[in-house]
Amino acid sequence: MDIRDVIISPRITEKAMAKALETQYTFAVHPDATKTQIRHAVETLFKVNVVKVNTVNVRGKSRTFARGRIRTSGQRSDFKKAIVTLKSGQKIELGGVNYFEQ
């Protein structure tokens, strides 16, 4: 698996922003990616030192939609989330803007 295939996108949520102040960053990653692959990808792409990687397989939520008088149900996609802890004093900037410190 290529390094750029491992990390899909950063997760920009309130909880992720709060953790970013503690040098923990959250990414959506490929479902088959291992912790070692995630560590290597983050260190290579962002040029930082990774201390720890935690992963979570998130199941998609069931949703019910109402269109007119018809009710239909669906489900969001499952995804894998990685919480990466960096060495203290380091941070990640994406595209010249640090999304995690806004």
C-beta separation of 85 from 58 below 8 A: no
pLDDT of residue 102: 47
C-beta separation of 56 from 83 below 8 A: yes
pTM of the predicted model, to two decimals? 0.83
pLDDT along the chain (102 residues), means of 10: 90 86 92 96 94 96 89 93 94 65 50
State how far the Cα of 13 lies from the Cα of 22, in Å rounded to an integer: 15
| Residue-range domains of the chain with CATH | 3-88 (3.30.70.330)
Token pair 């992963």 is found at 55
3-class secondary structure for the chain?
A: CCHHHHEEEECCCHHHHHHHCCCEEEEEECCCCCHHHHHHHHHHHHCCCEEEEEEEEECCCEEEEEECCEEEEEECCCEEEEEEEECCCCCCCECCECHHHC
pLDDT of residue 84: 96
